[in-house]
Amino acid sequence: MVGYLLVTHGEIGSSLADCVYHIFNKKISRLDCISINPTDDIDKKKIAISQKIKKNNSGDGVIIFTDIIGATPCNILKDFIIKNKVEVLTGVNAAMLIKALSSKNKDLNNIIQDCIEAAEENILQIDPND
């Protein structure tokens, strides 16, 4: 099974994980979070990221989700990308995580495509008349 890691500003990742745990009514063992804060030692965070990647990789790869392209968490994660083994998706939202964690028996690249589609399909302006 593919493993997952949220690396975000502050508690964004853990808040999204809590939301997903609520929806699934259980904690997901293959999902971890790392918060990046302004006062953090980035080298220590890189070590923590590396450890979480190893922990969550059962051989099928790891998808790392982050919040904002070009920001510190995203920039840190570029060093961890290994094509078809460790991939990074930015713009994380709950729909992406739910889709990823619902994807059983799919490979890393199919899950990534499903996550991107879920994100796109769930960004809408709500019409009060609908």
Residue 113 within any structural domain of the chain: no
| Residue 32, helix vs strand vs coil | strand
pLDDT at 29: 87
pLDDT at 85: 97
Domain that holds residue 22: 3-103
Amino acid present at 129: N
Residue 91 within any structural domain of the chain: yes
Residue 41 within any structural domain of the chain: yes
Residue 117 within any structural domain of the chain: no
Residue 19 within any structural domain of the chain: yes
Residue 17 within any structural domain of the chain: yes
Residue 99 within any structural domain of the chain: yes
Q: Which of 102, 54, 25, 121 is nearest to 64 (CA)?
A: 54
pLDDT at 105: 86
Q: Tens of pLDDT along the chain (130 residues)?
A: 999 999 999 999 999 999 999 999 998 889 999 999 999 999 999 999 999 999 999 999 999 999 999 999 999 999 999 999 999 999 999 999 999 999 888 999 999 999 999 999 999 999 999 8
**Which residue pairs from 101-110 have beta carbons closer than 8 angstroms and sit at least 24 positions apart in sequence?**
101/4, 101/20, 101/24, 101/28, 101/31, 103/2, 104/1, 106/2, 107/2, 107/60, 107/61, 108/2, 108/60, 108/61, 108/63, 108/84, 109/84
Q: Which of 119, 15, 9 is nearest to 75 (CA)?
A: 9
The two three-digit tokens of residue 111, written as one number = 């899950």
Q: What is the CATH number of the domain that holds 37?
A: 3.40.50.510
Residue 89 within any structural domain of the chain: yes
Looking at the structure of the chain, the number of domains it has is 1
